[in-house]
């Protein structure tokens, strides 16, 4: 259901009507011929004043209305945990921009619906946000599947759509003119795996991904890395959403012995994989999972999280523009450091804010033209899109490793905070 929205108060100007009295001169009464034109003249003046006042009142009322930003995201279903962090990023931005006086001098309000982690529901809700709620701006949902369906709806209506939660590159390959990716594409997640393999002499790789669009894109990226780096790709497989038993994959990996195990999905899956690896006393030289880049993984996996590698696009330690302030504000409010889910939405909202300021309005075509060439630095890094596709081409990926309960950046080398420990120490040698 929608979160409550405050009604904007519209002021209505009331005008008094003045009667023009009949005047008599010493020479006699004003004749009817002179009186009638005077009455008509005053009537015209009053009508003009009323028209101008009404126009000013309407403009003032429009200026007083909040700018409403519509977003559907998963408050229930299997994406609810990760979508919670995504929402917190945009929620924090809303409060900060309002504390600064709003956007274009108007307060910002969020119109939020629950897409129930279902792409079809997401599409219907964005149709509602556009056609029924008539929101001013659209912010994309969390997850590539829902982002893909929602983006199609927005583009059909020629409404600018900030794709801040969909990493699948397929979203930006459909010829949409109003869809702009502020999230990093899936290719950025795996960019550091090849250099890591080169540096540490790793020779083989296996991929196990949750079956969704972003994982399909990642599998292609892993295949290309294997081909380019002459790595032996042992297997590339997908498991359905809701999978909790990873024992068959662990047994397969034990037999194939890949140096690198790469998985993509969500933190709960990363947690279960690590628990089941420990229970079966198995560990590859390198275990990489994007879900390990979220605080939930560290809290739930505890000491077993040590030495796990996280595909990440953001870390609190990054020296990007505004990041120290973001980390402090987020931590003060939510009592945990932000992960990349929160940084995705916060950075996307920052891009949206800058685009509206540069366009000087919420006119969709003006915003589209602005976003096509807009470049700026955010907490994620440098925002830049391909002007032909709207695909994010500025943000780069990171690899982090859990050390002493915290993620430390190990790749790229120019931003590393520590050296990678490879192979990961066996369970019985920790």
Domains 67-184+319-383 and 188-312+398-429 share a fold: yes
CATH annotation of 188-312+398-429: 3.40.50.2300
Give the pLDDT score at 7: 34
- C-alpha span between 406 and 400 (Å, rounded): 9
- CA dist list (Å): 270 to 277, 295, 300, 401, 403: 11, 12, 10, 14, 17
Give the pLDDT score at 214: 87
CATH 3.40.50.2300 fits domain 67-184+319-383:
yes
Domain boundaries, the chain: 67-184+319-383, 188-312+398-429
**Full pLDDT tens readout for the chain, 430 residues:** 444 333 333 333 333 332 333 333 333 333 344 445 544 554 554 455 445 444 444 444 445 799 999 999 999 998 999 999 999 999 999 999 999 999 999 999 999 999 999 999 999 999 999 999 999 999 999 999 999 999 999 999 999 999 999 999 999 999 999 999 998 899 999 999 999 999 999 999 999 999 988 899 999 999 999 999 999 999 999 999 999 999 999 999 999 999 999 999 989 999 999 999 999 999 999 999 999 998 899 999 999 999 999 999 999 999 999 999 999 999 999 999 999 999 999 999 999 999 999 999 999 999 999 999 999 999 999 999 999 999 999 999 999 999 999 999 999 999 999 999 999 999 999 9
Give the pLDDT score at 213: 84
Give the pLDDT score at 36: 53
């Amino acid at each position: 259901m929608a979160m409550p929205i405050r009604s904007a108060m519209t002021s209505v100007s009331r005008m008094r009507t003045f009667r023009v009295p009949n005047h008599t001169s010493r020479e006699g009464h004003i004749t009817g011929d002179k009186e009638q034109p005077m009455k008509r003249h005053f009537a015209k003046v009053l009508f003009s004043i009323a028209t101008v006042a009404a126009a000013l009142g309407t403009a003032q009322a429009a200026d007083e209305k909040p700018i409403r930003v519509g977003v559907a995201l998963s408050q229930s279903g299997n994406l609810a945990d990760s979508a919670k962090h995504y929402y917190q990023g945009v929620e924090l931005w809303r409060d900060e921009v309002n504390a600064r006086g709003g956007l274009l001098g108007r307060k910002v309000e969020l119109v939020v619906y629950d897409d129930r982690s279902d792409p079809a529901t997401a599409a219907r809700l964005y149709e509602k946000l556009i056609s029924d709620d008539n929101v001013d701006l659209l912010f994309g949902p969390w997850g590539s599947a829902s982002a893909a369906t929602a983006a199609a709806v927005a583009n059909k209506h020629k409404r600018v759509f900030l794709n801040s939660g969909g990493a699948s590159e397929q979203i930006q390959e459909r010829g949409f003119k109003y869809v702009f990716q502020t999230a990093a594409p899936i290719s950025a997640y795996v960019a550091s795996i090849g250099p890591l393999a080169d540096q540490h002499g790793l020779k083989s790789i296996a991929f196990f991904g949750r079956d969704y669009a972003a994982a399909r894109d990642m599998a292609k990226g892993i295949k290309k890395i294997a081909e380019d780096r002459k790595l032996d790709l042992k297997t590339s497989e997908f498991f359905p959403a809701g999978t909790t038993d990873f024992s068959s994959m662990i047994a397969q990996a034990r037999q194939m012995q890949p140096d690198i195990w790469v998985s993509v999905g969500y933190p709960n899956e990363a947690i279960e994989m690590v628990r089941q690896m420990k229970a079966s006393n198995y560990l590859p030289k390198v275990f990489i999972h994007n879900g390990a880049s979220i605080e939930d993984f560290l809290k739930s996996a505890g000491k077993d999280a040590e030495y796990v590698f996280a595909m990440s696009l953001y870390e609190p330690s990054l020296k990007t523009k505004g990041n120290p302030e973001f980390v402090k504000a987020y931590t003060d409010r939510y009592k945990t450091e932000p992960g990349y889910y929160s940084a995705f939405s916060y950075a996307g909202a920052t891009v949206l804010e800058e685009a509206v300021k540069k366009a000087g309005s919420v006119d969709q075509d003006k915003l589209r033209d602005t976003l096509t060439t807009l470049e700026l630095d955010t907490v994620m890094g440098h925002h830049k899109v391909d002007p032909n596709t709207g695909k994010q081409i500025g943000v780069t990926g990171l690899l982090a490793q859990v050390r002493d309960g915290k993620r430390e950046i190990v790749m790229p080398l120019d931003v590393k905070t520590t050296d990678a420990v490879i192979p990961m120490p066996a369970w019985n040698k920790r």
